[in-house]
Amino acid sequence: MYEINETHDPELKSWVESANDPNTDFPIQNLPFCVFAPQNEQHRAGVIIGDLVADLEFFAQEVLEGSAVPYFLFDAEKAVDLSDVRIDRLMALRYELYKIFKEDVDPKVQDFIALGMHKRDDVVFGSPYRIGDYTDFYCSIYHATNVGSMFRPDNPLMPNYKYIPIGYHGRASSIVVSGTDIKRPWGQNRSDAEKPPVYIPAKNLDYEMELGFFVGRGNELGQPIPISEAEVHIFGLCLVNDWSARDIQAWEYQPLGPFLSKSFATTISPYVVTMEALAPFRVPAFERDPDDPQPLEYLNDETNQKFGGLDIKLEVYIQTENMRQENIEAHMLSRSNPKDLYWTLGQMLTHHASNGCNLQTGDLMASGTVSGKEKDERGCLLELTWRGTEPLELPSGEQRRFLEDGDEIILKGYCEREGFRRIGFGECRGRIVPADS
Ligand code: MN
């Protein structure tokens, strides 16, 4: 686990003015990594501070001379030697950046450093990694219970749920970054059980509010990762929208689970918030019901039980085409928090590698829909509208059961705790565009 140190000092200010705005997601205490391209230039690794993004390639050559900048950390293609993707080097880099951006840096040095910085609004962000594999879990017991009870009212939770972090192998090639339009997919729909399925554009299009994490250092094939070391393998976190076509899903999911209902697109936020930046926001693992089984030994670790949880405020907003035209602000659909997940990120990662499966640098894992106990904490429309039976009323007077063309979904995430600086994840946006005709 990560110690709280001087990089988390709430009094700390930066010479980058916009980083000192109390509402920014990106104060000097955060410093998330990303991949970006200035106009008409190639993609490169960067670090976010306030409204700016710093070019780590420029920094490596000009600013951080002598100290090895492992910027290949952020580009799986360049990460030739996986043993180099080490958390201590990442922490050392974050510490160098903290020193560079502190407010007491010599103004002449500031002027020079500014040559390697761009306005966030002027650049294009790419995927922070070339994602090799993507795995999606199902770790919210509230989400699993809600969804289960729609289909199996007497027996909502499967008997394995409290023993296994349930997951499936997702599709990496269709992961896109925030701001990419999402085309409504075609697929098989069998809403009329009396007739054969029809191949039509998906009708029940949905989002899922999820938390994602990237693998930093991988493991060798055949070498599981002990739970006590799990977090050493996590590079950092982002927001994930696991777009889902519920009508396709309902027909295809048995017996092997989701397939084309999920693989048409998944959106991620472009900034990777490091585990170290999140140190002040760690909480105990989910408190299990006294009647629940304890995790099996390979998933049970004292430190992980004490600090394995994360307190992150997650919010989902919708803005329809009508709302945009009438200048109506995006409307909040739900709030939830990964501290309510039944399994910790460490348990997900350790379980994933427990059969010897090799995780690789740049693999993305997602938590599954993050829902809480309350009605307004449900992290997808399937739950919020109870399979479309209880439509939502929007401030524009429109109703929604599922997503319509032109709807934009905006995910946000941020951490707040008394005595610490607020940090955030930025946004994860995607707008539905019509299916091909
Ligand atoms: Mn999902």
Q: 233 C-alpha to center of ligand 1: Å?
A: 22
> What is the C-alpha separation between 129 and 355, in angstroms, rounded?
25
Q: 369 C-alpha to center of ligand 1: Å?
A: 5
Asked if 286 and 303 touch (Cβ cutoff 8 Å), the reply is no
* H or E stretch at 88: helix 87-101
Q: What is the DSSP string of 379-435?
A: -SHHHHTTTTTSPEE-TTS-EESSPPTT-EEEEEEEE--TTS--EEEEEEEEEEEPP
> What is the C-alpha separation between 167 and 259, in angstroms, rounded?
13
At 128 the pLDDT is 81
Question: Domains of the chain (ranges plus CATH)?
Answer: 6-126 (2.30.30.230), 134-309+336-392 (3.90.850.10)
> What is the C-alpha separation between 128 and 64, in angstroms, rounded?
21
Token duo for residue 327: 């200048």
At 130 the pLDDT is 78
Query: Taking every pair of C-alpha atoms in the chain, what is the biggest distance, in angstroms?
Result: 76
Q: Helix (H, G, I), strand (E, B), or coil: what is residue 7?
A: helix
Residue whose C-alpha is closest to residue 315's, from 111, 25, 39: 25
At 1 the pLDDT is 75
Q: 368 C-alpha to center of ligand 1: Å?
A: 4
> What is the C-alpha separation between 114 and 98, in angstroms, rounded?
15
* H or E stretch at 283: strand 282-283
Asked if 8 and 420 touch (Cβ cutoff 8 Å), the reply is yes
At 65 the pLDDT is 59
| Half-sphere exposure for 290 (CA within 13 Å, toward CB) | 0
Active site residue ranges: 143
Q: 242 C-alpha to center of ligand 1: Å?
A: 5
Asked if 137 and 368 touch (Cβ cutoff 8 Å), the reply is yes
Q: 4 C-alpha to center of ligand 1: Å?
A: 32
Task: Give 3-state DSSP helix, strand, coil % of the chain, rounded to 5.
Answer: 25, 25, 50
Asked if 394 and 145 touch (Cβ cutoff 8 Å), the reply is no
At 77 the pLDDT is 52
Q: 137 C-alpha to center of ligand 1: Å?
A: 7
At 85 the pLDDT is 59
Q: How wide is the angle at C-alpha 129 spanned by C-alphas 124 and 133, nearest 5°?
A: 135
At 392 the pLDDT is 97
Q: 101 C-alpha to center of ligand 1: Å?
A: 37
Q: 241 C-alpha to center of ligand 1: Å?
A: 8
Residue whose C-alpha is closest to residue 350's, from 406, 293, 429, 285: 285
Q: 34 C-alpha to center of ligand 1: Å?
A: 23
Residue whose C-alpha is closest to residue 23's, from 430, 437, 303, 422: 422
At 127 the pLDDT is 86
Q: Strand locations in 101-220, DSSP E?
A: 117-119, 124-126, 134-137, 167-169, 175-177, 182-183, 186-189, 198-201, 205-206, 209-215
At 296 the pLDDT is 98
| pLDDT tens per residue across all 437 residues of the chain | 789 999 999 999 999 999 999 999 999 999 999 989 998 888 888 899 999 999 987 887 777 754 555 544 455 455 444 445 577 777 888 898 999 999 999 999 899 999 999 999 999 998 887 789 999 999 999 999 999 999 888 889 999 999 999 999 999 999 999 999 999 999 999 999 999 999 999 999 999 999 999 998 899 999 999 999 999 999 899 999 999 999 999 999 989 999 999 999 999 999 999 999 999 999 999 999 999 999 999 999 999 999 999 999 999 999 999 999 999 999 999 999 999 999 999 999 999 999 999 999 889 999 999 999 999 999 999 999 999 999 999 999 999 999 999 999 999 999 999 999 999 999 999 999 999 99
| Residue 378, number of CB atoms within 10 A of its CB | 28
